[in-house]
Amino acid sequence: MDLTFRPRRLRRTATIRAMVRETSLSPQDLIYPLFVKEGKGVREPIASLTGQFRFSPDTVASEAKAAWALGVPSVILFGIPDKKDPVGSSSWTDDGVVQRAVKAIKEVVPEMVVITDVCLCEYTDHGHCGVIRDDQVDNDATLELLAKQALSHARAGTDMVAPSDMMDGRVGVIRKALDQEGFKDVAIFSYAVKYASAFYGPFREAAGSAPQFGDRSGYQMDPANSREALREVELDLEEGADLIMVKPAMAYLDIVSAVKRISAVPVAAYNVSGEYAMVKAADAKGWIDGQRVMMEVLTAIKRAGADLILTYFAKEAASLLRG
């Protein structure tokens, strides 16, 4: 056979393959999601997320430290309060679980970047991401509550607030509130493009945040849409988002890629709970090699254009990457 081009020449040895590899993955790219509940010494396994736990503010600090030791630079915190009510008031109390977890982590690993999820669904008794008026989530009434929550995270010392509620205008309202209170350096990491996805199932089990009636399609995006994602990004950038996120990741790599092309700020993708749970479940069955699939998935998310990946695999992938 007389072939001029033989792409296999560059696949011949591991060294050549490493030389021509287009995408690299490093522990620095990873953000580790952590669940925090009330109590002390808590380390409660989450059934639907093999290898993940609910922590109390004290134990979450040690977990963050362990991730930091593996080269993971950042965590994102989700609160599971003892008390829920119609407006989610336990989300903005200065002694709330997330607020205490931020302080605890900052004490133990001061350099670690702490991101706090800003949303009401974990704190409302109806499980929706905002306040309900006439059976609908009221956008504008929700905004001031999100700003209150973001401010209380800022007072606790968070580095970045990550609004995940999908209310229109929240980035602008939160930016204004932070600036007015002197938190000019607290960044906004916006869940700019968040789809109404069934892949959030295990998270909702972990946080007890499933909606008690209806679903989230009235505020989260329709999985069928992609141009709308670009509009969401434009709006969040105009309102002052410092980083933006696409969520979920695996079934939305076309969106990650399209968003990356138009975004002047860093783009993250959230490798969500259902994506993690599927890999773990198939691995447990012996149907796939979980570790290899994990690395393939994370590499593919980066290849699509993500600068950062939020993933429950953070510690496991980081320890593998460090050899």
Binding residues vs ligand PBG (CB under 6 A): 117, 119, 121, 129, 164, 200, 203-204, 272-273
Reduced to 3 states, what is the DSSP secondary structure of residue 61? Answer: helix
Set 194, 280, 302, 315: catalytic member: 194
Rounded Cα distance between 119 and 244, Å, is 16
Choice between 45 and 262, CB closer to ligand PBG: 45
Reduced to 3 states, what is the DSSP secondary structure of residue 184? Answer: coil
Choice between 107 and 228, CB closer to ligand PBG: 228
Rounded Cα distance between 204 and 202, Å, is 5
Rounded Cα distance between 190 and 238, Å, is 12
Reduced to 3 states, what is the DSSP secondary structure of residue 309? Answer: strand
- 247 labelled catalytic: yes
Choice between 181 and 218, CB closer to ligand PBG: 218
Residue type, 67: A
Q: Write out 1-42 in H/E/C secondary structure.
A: CCCCCCHHHHHCCHHHHHHCCCCCCCHHHEEEEEEEECCCCC
- 315 labelled catalytic: no
Set 84, 247, 280, 302: catalytic member: 247
Is residue 251 within 8 Å of residue 199, measured between CB atoms? yes
For residue 163, give the nearest of 136, 133, 186, 197 by alpha carbon: 186
Residue type, 286: G
Choice between 115 and 318, CB closer to ligand PBG: 115
Cβ partners under 8 Å of residue 278, min gap 6: none
Q: How far is the CB of 53 from ligand PBG (least distance, A)?
A: 14
Residue type, 206: A
Q: What b-and-e string marks burial along 114-131, b requiring 16 or more CB atoms within 10 Å of the CB?
A: bbbbbbbbbbbebbbbbb
Is residue 137 within 8 Å of residue 130, measured between CB atoms? yes
H-only helix segments in 221-269? 227-239, 253-262
Strand partners, 43: 55
Rounded Cα distance between 296 and 318, Å, is 14
Active-site positions read 194, 247
